[in-house]
Amino acid sequence: MKRKLLFTSIIVALIGLPQVRGQSIWPSTLNATGGSATLGGRTYEWSIGEMTLVNTAATSSIVVTQGLLQPEHGVTAVEDRNILRFLTVFPNPANNTINYTFNSPQKAIIGLRLMDMSGKVIQEKSNDVKTGMNTGQLDISSLAAATYLLQVDLTSDETLIETTAYKIQKLQ
């Protein structure tokens, strides 16, 4: 009986021990919560409580990457819509009017929001944008001499395409 037990123990040790491995992936990561949402045709995914350290562990059947969201979607192409980079706002500093001009590859709506430095909206205006060269003006003659922020939004089909801001100095 002792001999049979010894023989069984040796066989189990020889066969089983090479298969017994401790797995240690350190530091490990844990997401407290997360989710996804679709807004304006774009899908946003997030996680909370995830470490920023990236570590990858793999076996023949699975790859786990820590510190990185792994979306179910494939590659997403990003369309360059940098239309307002060619927006010119002049003169600055200004006395009575601010002029703007830019070239648009599509029809849209431009929204102008003039705010004081505390963020209070002083004046708002929107204009239709045609394909090609567009120009317009904003009357600031009634405003006090100060520094203002001009926020410019470009929208199409009620979707924000682009936004930018300018610091405007009003004289007199």
Domain match, 56 and 100 both:
no
Domain match, 161 and 115 both:
yes
- 8 Å CB contact between 148 and 170: yes
SS3 of 163, please? strand
Of residues 87 and 76, which shows the higher confidence score? 87
Domain match, 66 and 112 both:
no
Domain match, 89 and 74 both:
no
* CATH for 151: 2.60.40.10
Domain match, 97 and 147 both:
yes
Last residue of a domain, one of 63, 78, 93: 78
Single pTM value for the model: 0.53
Domain match, 42 and 115 both:
no
Query: Which pLDDT band, with edges at 50, 70 and 90, does 141 fall under?
Result: very high
Domain match, 145 and 100 both:
yes
162: left (phi over 0), alpha (psi -120 to 50) or beta: beta
Domain match, 113 and 164 both:
yes
Which structural domain, as residue segments, surrounds residue 103?
84-170
Mean pLDDT of 152-156: 91
Last residue of a domain, one of 34, 63, 78: 78
Domain match, 104 and 57 both:
no
Say what percent of the chain tops pLDDT 70: 65
Counted domains in the chain? 2
Strand order in the sheet with 132-139: 88-90, 97-104, 132-139
Domain match, 67 and 39 both:
yes
Reply yes or no on whether the pLDDT at 155 is more than 80: yes
Q: Which residue has the tokens 């350190």?
A: 26
Reply yes or no on whether the pLDDT at 52 is more than 80: no
Last residue of a domain, one of 56, 78, 100: 78
